[in-house]
A and B are shown apart, each in its own frame.
Chain A
Amino acid sequence: MKTRVLGIIGLLAVIAAAIFGLFVVPPDANQGDAQRIMYVHVASAWLAYLSFGVTALAGLLYLWKRDLRFDAVALAGAEVGVMFTAFAIWGGMMWGKPVWGTFWQWEDPRLTTTALLLALYVGYLLLRHLTDDPMRRATRAAIVGIVAAIDIPIVHFSVIWWRGLHQTATFADPTKILHPSAPGLFVLALMGMLTAFTLVWGYLMIRRYQLARIAWQIEEHGRLGRITAARRAAVERAAPPPPSAAPGVVDGRVEEAGS
């Protein structure tokens, strides 16, 4: 129930932040209205990094405690993070075209790093998908998630260096967008969007975690299923199955446990 409230608050916050960023804040002096895309772009990028941080941390905790609940957190972080990474790239491209004149700016360390980030964690999700045993999957995913998190700063640093050593023209820096005519409103719009997206992120993380736990239970049942099925078949041969229990009663119990 609390999760649902969080979801509704997040939804309202995103709508409010979008209206504020799109219609209330004046256009930027240099970039015009294109700068409005920065609010969703920056917010997506922030949550992508946060998600992958959570995934790496949950991986470490899993290796330490060997509790599959941490593995479910890691999965939630990776999947939600991949989505926000894709949004960050999309936002960056939509912002880059009117401002830089190209969709892709190779010398921008953020865009390049983010693209590699997407590849890293799509690989992470596929790795999980292709491993059947839950413990083995959790271990593999944990160490791959940790090594990926270690790699991210090196990637970012090397791309910055790549640009720095080549003395290319400096392009509009997204961190400098906050200076012009109405700084207060710009900061407010960005902070509002960051808060709203973070609320939605929290909601999605909780829901994805719940899904991972239930999916694990079903998977676990499937593993036991072969034994149970054989036993049930033997029983059914002796007598026909009884009518199943009334659905309403059990429904209430599960709804309570989940939300």
Chain B
Amino acid sequence: MTLPRTAWVALTIARKDALAELRGKHATTSTLFFAAVVLLLFGFALGPDTRRLQEAAPGLLWLAIVFAGLLAVGRLHLIETDDGALEQLALYPIDRRAIYAGKAVSGLAAMLILGIVLLGVVAILYGIDLAGAWPALVLTLGLGCIGFAAVGTFYAGVTVRMRAREVMLPLLMLPVIAPLLLAAVKATAAALGGDPFGELAAWLQLLAGYDIIMIIAAAATYGFLLEE
């Protein structure tokens, strides 16, 4: 299968997922509200001292993104299993990597929406000024969400028809995204703090490297899941 066709198939799958999400609006909204409530509870746990919240804000933001993202990527595979649609998808004469890419792209779209909304919520709740930090924040958010969607889609595929799926997805995935969390939090902190030590570029490089390695590893092995 040629590359343009693979890309086209991937985008078709992603579009299908997006449409399904948009038509059943409840899931998206509830995930967003869940993450917002998590951020609010972090405030209760660490507040009311605003300065302490501001110091912890990058970490809290990414923890909220991770928790909500787990729900989002898990659901993207779940909508396929209810009526055996994943098996049908696997039967089509298309590149398996296209299925993975499609799922990852729709996951990425969900993650980006989550990330942008939660960034706004963090800014409002913890009183953070985002004004000067936009380019670096957008880059961090983008790279972080790409990595999360790539790894999340893979592990959602692994756990999709497993007993205790709700526990296994975070249990398997969280240790693997530890470097991503570390780099994204540090990059966000550097971006918000005006990057006094000039370390932002290094963390962004680590994020980009992580993304590339994980996308290759996940895309190469995802096809085996569909052979089952």
Contacts and interface: CB of A to CB of B under 8 A. Distances in A.
B179 interface: yes
Interface in A106-125: 116, 119-120, 122-124
Contacts of A165: 186, 197, 199, 202
A61 interface: no
Interface residues of A, number: 32
Interface of A is mostly: helix
Nearest to B167: A126
A123 B168 contact: yes
A151 interface: yes
Contacts, number: 89
Contacts of B178: 116, 155, 158
A155 B179 contact: yes
Interface residues of B, number: 33
A23 interface: no
B188 to A, nearest CB: 14
B221 interface: yes
Contacts of B202: 161, 165
B86 interface: no
Interface in A131-157: 131, 133, 135-136, 139-140, 142-144, 146-148, 150-151, 154-155, 157
Interface stretch (B6-14, B67-75, B122-130, B156-164): B156-164
B227 A151 contact: no
Contacts of A155: 175, 178-179
Contacts of B206: 157-158, 161
Contacts of B224: 63, 139, 142-143
Given A120-B172, A147-B214, A151-B176, 16 more contacts: A63-B224, A119-B175, A123-B168, A123-B171, A127-B158, A127-B172, A140-B225, A147-B217, A147-B221, A151-B179, A151-B214, A154-B179, A154-B209, A161-B202, A161-B206, A165-B197
18 contacts: A116-B175, A120-B176, A126-B168, A127-B159, A130-B168, A131-B162, A140-B158, A143-B158, A143-B225, A144-B158, A146-B217, A147-B214, A147-B218, A148-B175, A148-B176, A150-B213, A151-B214, A155-B175
Interface of B: 154, 158-159, 162-164, 168, 171-172, 174-176, 178-179, 182-183, 186, 197, 199, 202, 206, 209-210, 213-214, 217-218, 221-222, 224-225, 227-228
